[in-house]
Amino acid sequence: MRDFYGITLPGAMMLGTAQYPSPAIMEAAFRASGAAVATVSLRREAGMGGAGMGAGMGTGQAFWDIIRGLGLRVLPNTAGCHTAREAVTTARMAREVFETDWIKLEVIGHADTLQPDPFGLLEAAETLCADGFHVFPYTTEDQVLAQRLVDAGCRVLMPWGAPIGSGMGLNNRHGLRSLRAAFPDIPMVIDAGLGLPSHAADAMEMGFDAVLLNSAVAQAGDPVAMARAFGLAVQAGALARGADPMGVRDMGVPSTPLLGKAWL
């Protein structure tokens, strides 16, 4: 497992805390998933009311008690921010509330696809890195932007698999493979768009260090079972990557050798 800003996580799954049917189901889903990180949002809060969870999910203190009880690393995010200024302000508030320098940086640039704004993202990343934050930028598979983020001080990249909440999986496999190969020493987390456990296994097999998801678990008919399925898929993908998979061939190759075959 690769380090994330000097921290070695016990697992390669990060899970969001929004949209669950109830706090009890959210807690059970986290425990079933084996997730190492919980992402939480400050944008939707009113004095920490239902942090990171939809309306009607109870008080903020109750939510925070659940998260602390899970014993996970907390990764606050700037979800819903559309400008660098918004994101920086939200990040600074989150650092005070959650007492961590970790921040998942989102600066949304397109209302329909929720694609990050590369210009606002870079501006916010430069400011936050200079301010001592450990920035996890939600980005695309663009290698030029990735290099600028690394130059700004980001030591982790979080390229999207597909638009947030779409469940499409890995839309641009070539671009993601190229990005992974171009920055072999930078930890990378596939963030957004994963809908099935097979998508998570695919990302791990491609060499990514972790995956982050929310909707695929929270909006499943059985969030707890789906969380467990994703946790197992992440483990399987990581094991497969470490086992040095066979390469793709243009032609069929018999698995049973012809040597010693009886010729009739």
* Catalytic residue set: 104
DSSP H helices in the chain: 23-33, 60-70, 84-98, 118-130, 143-152, 173-182, 197-205, 215-218, 223-242
* Residue 263 scores a pLDDT above 70: no
Closest CA to 52 of 72, 79, 29, 25: 79
149-171 pLDDT tens trace: 999 999 999 999 999 999 999 99
pTM above 0.75, yes or no: yes
58-85 pLDDT tens trace: 456 777 788 888 889 999 999 989 999 9
192 is in an annotated binding site: yes
- CA dist 191 and 173 (Å) reads 14
214 is in an annotated binding site: yes
